[in-house]
Amino acid sequence: MWYGPFRSLRESVLCLTRGPRLNDINMHIARRLRRRRRLLGMTQQELGKRVGVRFQQIQKYESAANRINAEMLWKLSRALGVPVGYFYEGCDNLESEGDDISPTVLREPELVRLIKGYRQLDEPRRLRIVELVDAMN
């Protein structure tokens, strides 16, 4: 099975559960981008045309695989009808939320099964799972 740049599932999960707060901010911006686009009923292709990139690039922005530079953030804000600050709303809470995830949590067989199952799902199903978990929290 492919785990991106990681050698194992364990290593990929550890990377997600640790790391600089900058990554948390990038993920937050990516989620806000996706949320706003969906709220407007806009496809990735439509948004890409408005800002001058292909839909694949929008996918990468929304998954935080690629960072969004200042110019693109400005273009996205205009295309989505929000101020640039919209993408940063809630970032102050990232520090205080903290992660309760430690490496020992990977010893839980249910979590490992969930992660393996999640990685096998297509993007629409993954999004539904994330929305379900968000709704439960």
Per-residue pLDDT of 34-66, as tens digits, reads 999 999 999 999 999 999 999 999 999 999 889
Q: What is the mean pLDDT of the chain?
A: 79
The first and second tokens of residue 90, run together, are 């809630």
Buried b (16+ CB within 10 A) or exposed e, 24-36: bbbebbbbbbbeb
Up-side HSE of residue 132: CA atoms within 13 Å toward CB? 6
The first and second tokens of residue 109, run together, are 């067989």
pLDDT tens-digit map of 82-113? 999 999 888 776 654 445 555 566 677 888 88
- The SS3 of residue 76 is helix
Q: Which of 118, 120, 137, 119 is nearest to 129 (CA)?
A: 118
Angle at 68 between CA 59 and CA 121, to 5 degrees: 25
Domains and CATH numbers, the chain: 19-99 (1.10.260.40), 102-137 (no CATH)
CB distance 18 to 111 below 8 Å: no
